[in-house]
Amino acid sequence: MDSYRSYGDAELVDLLKSGDEAAFSQIYKRHWHPLYHHAIKMVKDEDEATDVVQEVFTALWSKSEHIKLNSSLSYYLHSCVRNYVLNLFNREKIRTNYLDNLQHTLNKGSSFTDETLMRKELSTIIEYQISLLPEKMRKVFELSRNSHLSHKEISMELAISEETVKKQIYNALKILRLKLTSLFSVVLTLFFYLFFHF
């Protein structure tokens, strides 16, 4: 392990592409702090910056065999952090715009009588959050929600136990509730009733 300290980034990347965990560990140790400081300058929050860097390294490992560097590893990783943060900012902009529109509707004294419109707006945001679920969990959830398959049918379709199906659906709903709470706060209960009425 100590021998990896003497390797340059290019050598470590070559080893990483072959699934070398020690190479990944050395890259992590070498670049974590610079990336963290880069992230915190952008997001101004320690926990958020930590999450950003962790996501970047998770992606680096999961996609290691497909990495193609046109510049230094440091530049590549800093670009990944910047792009991830920009995506966060875009999501925040979407959230803010949605809440502004919702507040405007409430200020006008409108009630939620136009259920079709509300479903359409809500559906767009929920579908986006569903797309962010882990692949296996998302597949189970969509088979239950979109294809209306029973736990047993999903179990047979994906060759997993019914208990796993139940757990994946439970976890998916838990994740979605947590994420959507920050988006909809007070109106969350009503929206879940309208959209997730199993």
Q: Find the domain containing 59 and state its range.
A: 2-87
**Per-residue pLDDT, 1:** 57
Task: Name the domain count of the chain.
Answer: 2
Residues 131 and 191 in one domain: yes
Residues 122 and 50 in one domain: no
Residues 47 and 123 in one domain: no
The CATH number assigned to the domain holding 149 equals 1.10.10.10
For residue 52, being part of any structural domain is answered with yes
pLDDT digits (tens, 9 = 90+) for 108-142: 544 444 555 556 666 677 777 788 888 888 889 88
pLDDT digits (tens, 9 = 90+) for 72-94: 899 989 988 888 887 776 666 55
Length of the chain: 198
Residues 164 and 127 in one domain: yes
Distance of CA 84 to the CA centre of its chain: 11
Residues 162 and 115 in one domain: yes
Work out the average pLDDT over 142-151: 85
Residues 122 and 171 in one domain: yes
**Per-residue pLDDT, 197:** 47
CB 190 within 8 A of CB 112: yes
Cα separation, 65 vs 45, whole angstroms: 32
Cα separation, 145 vs 123, whole angstroms: 13
pTM, full prediction? 0.48
CB 112 within 8 A of CB 118: yes
